[in-house]
Amino acid sequence: MPSRKHKPRQKRALHTKRAGRLRKRFIAKRIRSRKPATRKSAKQKRKLSRRAIPARRTARAAALLRPRQVAIRAQEAAFSLLAALDRGGLVPEFLRRYAIENQRPGRIANPPRYRELVETVRREALLVLALQIDDEMPQRIGVRAPQKVTAERRELVDLFREEFFVTLGRSLNWGDEEFQAFCDDIEIYRSLRAAVARSSRHRGGSSAPAGPFVDRCGFLIDAPMLDQGRRAAARFEMELIATASRVLKKVFSPRGL
Cβ atoms of residues 183 and 84 within 8 Å: no
Low-confidence ranges of the chain (pLDDT < 50): 1-8, 11-12, 14-15, 18-19, 22, 25-27, 29-38, 40, 42-61, 256-257
Residue-level pLDDT at 227: 92
Residue 108 domain flag: yes
**Dihedral sign from CA coordinates of 45, 49, 54, 57:** negative
What range defines the domain where residue 175 resides?
A: 53-251
Residue 232 domain flag: yes
Residue 106 domain flag: yes
Residue-level pLDDT at 48: 38
- The alpha carbon of 65 is separated from its chain's Cα centroid by a whole number of angstroms, namely 17
Residue 97 domain flag: yes
- Report the C-alpha gap between 245 and 109 in whole angstroms: 33
Query: pLDDT tens digits for 121-148?
Result: 999 999 999 999 999 998 888 777 666 7
Residue 229 domain flag: yes
> Model's pTM, two decimal places?
0.72
Residue 176 domain flag: yes
- Report the C-alpha gap between 215 and 188 in whole angstroms: 13
Produce one character per residue of 110-138: b if its CB has 16 or more CB atoms within 10 Å, e if not. Answer: eeeebeebbeebeebbbbbbbbbbbebbb
Nearest Cα to Cα of residue 114 among 132, 129, 142, 95? 95
Query: pLDDT tens digits for 74-125?
Result: 999 999 999 999 988 999 999 999 999 999 999 999 999 999 999 999 999 9
Residue 43 domain flag: no
Contacts of 104 (CB under 8 A, 6+ apart): 98, 222, 225
Residue-level pLDDT at 22: 47
Q: What total number of domains does the chain contain?
A: 1
- Report the C-alpha gap between 135 and 195 in whole angstroms: 16
Residue 119 domain flag: yes
Contacts of 244 (CB under 8 A, 6+ apart): 81, 128, 129, 130, 132, 133, 136
Residue-level pLDDT at 53: 40
**Opening angle at CA 87, ends 68 and 76, nearest 5:** 5
